[in-house]
Chains A and B, each alone.
Chain A
Amino acid sequence: MDHFLHLLSSGLARGAVFAVFALALVLIWRAARIVNFAQGAMAAATTYVAFAVTTATGSYWLGLGAAVLGGAALGFAVERGVMRHVAGRSPLNSVIVALGVVMVLQAVLGIAFGNDYKPMAVPFSMEPLWVAGTPLLSPYDLYVLGAVAVLLVAFGLLFTRTSVGLRMRAAAFAPETSRLLGVPVSRMLTLGWALSAAVGALAAVLVIPTELGLNPHATDTLFVYAFTVAIVGGLDSPVGAALGGLAVGVLLSMVTGYLGSTLAPIAVLALLVVVLIARPSGIFSARQVRQA
């Protein structure tokens, strides 16, 4: 039972990170109808930024800030430099171009830092705290959950209470009408990419030191997990992404804890296949058909 509670609570903590990474996918999907296959590699690049800044300055928090700002800059650059030029063609083209971005980023990281694993420091202990004789969350898990909660509240406020958020939603859902009403649609799209990449950068900095290990290909599995979360939750639904993230996090934690960590990618694959066959529009989504 203790083991179960520990797995459940640590699963919720890692699920929160998956939820944030999936939220970054949902942001771009809602803004541009693109699944950003480069998001994993972009997040790996910004985690190297955090690694380099933390190594140079000795401060974890400066590294974290640099990664988030670097993410925004990278999102801006990828949208303006690459994705913009294939927009409006077949959806396959944008996926393939994003894969090109993945390859370029992974190659540049490999050349700059090498393909071996780099150790990353974390600011809080990862030893679980004991509550009433049961090991539960570690201080680091609590920090992750707090960061995710702040982020989700901030995004909720941004999209529902501010005029920028309203314009972004308008530009995504009715670009023609928004343009007529004076919304700078193209600028909103770029802003969406920058925000999404910053969110992805934060998620990667939170999760890479604990379980993936810093490596140019570290985020390949993270992207697959986040994609699964987005499919389970429904690509159109931020709330679905949050709930789906927690569900996938707990599933992975249970599979790892009871069956072994090598089975985790297989469990995610099985979940993805089952959801796609049984309920292709996502468990938390109201939309009918899943067609790009």
Chain B
Amino acid sequence: MSAHVPVHVHGSWRRPGPATRRLGLTVAGLALAIGATFVLEPYRAYQVAIVAAYLCATAGLTLLVGRGGQLSLGHAALMAAGAYGFGLSSNALSAAGASGAVRLVVPLAAGVLAAAALGALLGAAGARLRGPYLAGLTLAVVVAVPAITSTFSRTLGGDRGLWIEIERRPDALRPWVGAEQWQAWVAITAAALVLLVLGNLASGSAGRQIAAVRDDEAAARLAGIDVTRVKVVSFTLSAAAAGLGGAVLAYVTQIANPGAYSLVFSLFLVVAVVIGGLGSLAGAFWGALLLVALPEATTSIAETLPVSPTLAQRLEGNLALLVFGLLLIVLMIVAPRGIHGALARARGALRRRWSARGPAPAPAPVPEGAAARAPTTG
């Protein structure tokens, strides 16, 4: 994958630099998504908010796994840290009589900080570990979430969860903007912020350092990279993004409960980033979309099947799990670069066919074979 880092020509005044272009793209996407909420029904706007919340988490996870080579099965726990951080501070501010933007921004920041702190701890423990060891450690964290919430049930609400007093939309907007629509705006803005920060980071020198550490630690160390620092920082950033996702989810659903951040949900996040294509922020979007769309589709399929009510109920809970599991196995064997990789490959093939028809003679068959084989690395 490292061989495909695009080379940008710096110093050219006619084309904007990649950072400016990314900012422009993000602002355009933000405006488009916010505009779209005006034509959506309230339930669809709610779903848009959920997708945006998931996108925060999948964007952080895809960079951690795809670029950093660090597999975390604990991102649901990090989202839970964000959700509880949001809930506790939002409730505390409400009890203190605060209202207005403070009661939205401070809890969101508290969620990010809570997840980042947990992420820094895990990153420090995981900095000496690789692959299966880090995965096992993060798995232990996510399995311990229900135990933690019931141990501190007086603060965290135990199995039933923590109800959250939230700041609703500003009064001035009330005539024009629905409640779900406003929540979608908050969620979309958060996701855009995450994409902007992580996108700039991944394409800059920090991204190259992270990839260098993944590919060869000894070589990275020789090149003067502080391997431990890079690993801890990338895990912390990924955790912060997941924490923002959890905080936004808590804002949208007004509850933080352990059942929502189970091991199965953590596995769903991994599936989402694998389906989207490991390391790709665009893929993180596809994955987040699928996490909302597929369970809904399988539920409606289960409802239409002519089976007994018991079986229908069992299918409803498990069909999405089955489809995601099969997708994960098949994709990892057949197309490890996911949807985004498949799209990129299709685009490349089209372009090659196009240029073969053009005036310039097609290149010798050697580069085509090399290009077709290269993406399977990493």
Which residues of A come within 8 Å of B, CB atoms? 34-35, 37, 82, 85-86, 89-93, 95-97, 99-108, 110-111, 114-115, 217, 220-221, 223-224, 227-228, 231, 260, 262-266, 268-269, 272-273, 276-277, 280, 290-292
Contact = CB atoms under 8 A, between A and B. Distances in A.
Interface stretch (B43-51, B89-97, B144-152): B144-152
Contacts of A85: 333
Which 10 A-B pairs have CB atoms at the shortest separation, nearest pair first? A103-B325, A100-B328, A107-B322, A35-B132, A100-B329, A104-B325, A110-B318, A107-B321, A292-B131, A265-B147
A266 B147 contact: yes
A212 to B, nearest CB: 12
B220 interface: no
Interface string B115-135: 000000000111011111101
A266 B325 contact: no
B263 A97 contact: no
A24 to B, nearest CB: 15
Contacts of B315: 111
Contacts of A103: 264, 267, 271, 321-322, 324-325, 328
Interface in B136-154: 136-137, 139-141, 143-144, 146-148, 150-151
B65 interface: yes
20 contacts: A95-B132, A104-B325, A107-B319, A107-B325, A111-B314, A111-B318, A227-B136, A227-B140, A262-B151, A265-B144, A265-B147, A266-B144, A268-B140, A268-B144, A269-B144, A272-B140, A273-B125, A276-B126, A277-B124, A292-B130
Given A92-B71, A102-B267, A290-B129, A220 B143 contact: yes
Nearest to B150: A262
A223 B135 CA distance: 12
A95 B278 CA distance: 14
B322 A108 contact: yes
A111 B311 CA distance: 7
Contact of A96 (B124, B126, B129, B274): B274
Contacts of B147: 262-266
Nearest to A35: B132
Interface string B315-351: 1011101101111110011001000000000000000
A272 to B, nearest CB: 5
Contacts of A90: 69, 131, 378
B205 interface: no
B304 interface: no
Nearest to A264: B147
B151 to A, nearest CB: 5
Interface of B: 65, 69, 71, 73, 124-126, 128-133, 135-137, 139-141, 143-144, 146-148, 150-151, 263-264, 267, 270-271, 274, 310-311, 314-315, 317-319, 321-322, 324-329, 332-333, 336, 378
Contacts of A86: 332-333
B317 A276 contact: no
Nearest to B266: A99
Nearest to B328: A100
Given A35-B136, A110-B318, A269 B151 contact: no
Contacts of A96: 71, 270, 274, 328, 332
Contacts of A280: 128-129, 133
Contact of B321 (A106, A264, A272): A106
A14 to B, nearest CB: 17
